[in-house]
Amino acid sequence: MGGCCGTTDEHIAQIAQLVSDAEPHTPAPQHSELWLSGLELLPLTPERGFINVGERCNVAGSRKFLRLVKEGQWSEALDIARKQVDDGALVLDINMDDALLDARSAMTHFLCLLAAEPEIARVPVMVDSSDWNVIRDALGCIQGKAIVNSISLKEGEEVFLSHARELRRMGAAVVVMAFDEEGQATTYERRIEVCSRAYRLLTEQVGMPARDIIFDPNVLTVATGMAEHDAYALDFIRATEWIRTHLPEAHVSGGVSNLSFAFRGNNYVREAMHAVFLYHARRAGMDFAILNPATRVTYADIEPSLLEAIEDVILCRRPDATERLTQMVHEMSAEAEAAASAPQADNATQPAATDAPLSREALDHRLAEALRRGTTDGLQADLMCALELYGSPVAIIEGPLMQGMNRVGQLFGEGKMFLPQVVKTARTMKSAVEMLQPYMTDNSGSDAQPSQQRPRVLLATVRGDVHDIGKNIVAVVMACNGFDVTDLGVMVSPEDIVAAARELHPQAIGLSGLITPSLAEMQTTVRMLDEAGIRVPVMIGGATTSRLHTALRIATAYSGAVLHVADASQNVPMLAPFLDPATANDATAQLHQQQDALRQLHATPDTIVSLEEARAKKPKFF
Ligand code: THG
Helix axes 469-480, 419-436, angle to 10 degrees: 30
361-367: average pLDDT: 91
Q: SS3 for 138?
A: helix
- 193 against 602, higher pLDDT: 193
How many other C-beta atoms lie within 10 A of the C-beta of residue 257?
A: 21
- Residue 353 pLDDT greater than 60, yes or no: no
- Residue 348 pLDDT greater than 60, yes or no: no
Q: What is the pLDDT of residue 579?
A: 94
Please report, as a single letter, which amino acid is at residue 414: E
Atom 16 of ligand 1, residue of closest alpha carbon: 61
| Average pLDDT value for the chain | 91
- Residue 360 pLDDT greater than 90, yes or no: no
Ligand 1 atom nearest the C-alpha of 219 is 31
- Residue 345 pLDDT greater than 50, yes or no: no
Listed range (152-166, 226-240, 357-371, 567-581) with the worst mean pLDDT: 357-371
Strands (E), 490-607: 508-512, 538-541, 562-564
Predicted confidence band at 622 (pLDDT cuts at 50, 70, 90)? Answer: confident
463-475: average pLDDT: 94
- The count of C-alpha atoms lying within 13 angstroms of the C-alpha of 120, restricted to the half-sphere facing its C-beta, is 24
Distance (Å) from CA 55 to ligand 1 centroid? 6
Label residue 18 exposed, middle or buried (CB < 10 Å: 0-12, 13-18, 19+): exposed
Task: Return phi, psi of residue 435, to 5°.
Answer: -65, -30
CA terminus-to-terminus distance, the chain: 82
Distance in angstroms (rounded) separating the CA atoms of residues 58 and 201 = 30
Instruction: Report pLDDT digits (tens) over 484-542.
Output: 999 999 999 999 999 999 999 999 999 999 999 999 999 999 999 999 999 999 999 99
- Residue 452 pLDDT greater than 60, yes or no: no
- Residue 333 pLDDT greater than 90, yes or no: no
Task: Return phi, psi of residue 173, to 5°.
Answer: -80, 165
Q: SS3 for 176?
A: strand
Atom 27 of ligand 1, residue of closest alpha carbon: 62
Distance in angstroms (rounded) separating the CA atoms of residues 377 and 474 = 25
Distance (Å) from CA 265 to ligand 1 centroid? 15
- Residue 451 pLDDT greater than 50, yes or no: no
Distance in angstroms (rounded) separating the CA atoms of residues 387 and 382 = 9
Atom 30 of ligand 1, residue of closest alpha carbon: 257
Ramachandran sector of residue 81 (left: φ over 0; alpha: ψ -120 to 50; beta: rest): alpha
Which of 53, 128, 179, 221 has most ligand 1 atoms within 8 Å of CB, for mutation? 128
Q: What is the pLDDT of residue 556?
A: 96
In sign, the C-alpha dihedral spanning 374, 378, 381, 386 is negative
Distance (Å) from CA 544 to ligand 1 centroid? 12
- Residue 234 pLDDT greater than 60, yes or no: yes
2-7: average pLDDT: 86
In Å, what is the CA distance from 244 to each residue of 36, 52, 214, 238, 281?
20, 18, 11, 10, 11
Report whether 484 contacts 454 (CB < 8 A).
yes
Q: What is the pLDDT of residue 304?
A: 95
Please identify every residue annotated as catalytic.
465, 467, 518
Instruction: Report pLDDT digits (tens) over 571-602.
Output: 999 999 999 999 999 999 999 999 999 999 88
Distance in angstroms (rounded) separating the CA atoms of residues 224 and 221 = 7
Atom 31 of ligand 1, residue of closest alpha carbon: 255
Distance (Å) from CA 292 to ligand 1 centroid? 9
Distance (Å) from CA 167 to ligand 1 centroid? 24
Has this prediction a pTM greater than 0.75?
yes
Report whether 252 contacts 286 (CB < 8 A).
yes
Ligand 1 atom nearest the C-alpha of 177 is 32
Distance in angstroms (rounded) separating the CA atoms of residues 605 and 546 = 21
Listed range (91-105, 132-146, 413-427, 548-562) with the worst mean pLDDT: 413-427
- Residue 342 pLDDT greater than 60, yes or no: no
Which of 261, 290, 544 has most ligand 1 atoms within 8 Å of CB, for mutation? 290
Report whether 85 contacts 122 (CB < 8 A).
yes
Q: Which residues line ligand 1 (CB under 6 A)?
A: 55, 58, 61-64, 128, 149-150, 175, 216, 219, 254-255, 257-258, 264, 290
Report whether 108 contacts 134 (CB < 8 A).
no
Ligand 1 atom nearest the C-alpha of 63 is 28
Distance (Å) from CA 619 to ligand 1 centroid? 49
Atom 6 of ligand 1, residue of closest alpha carbon: 255
179-180 vs 183-184, strand pairing mode: antiparallel
- 104 against 482, higher pLDDT: 104
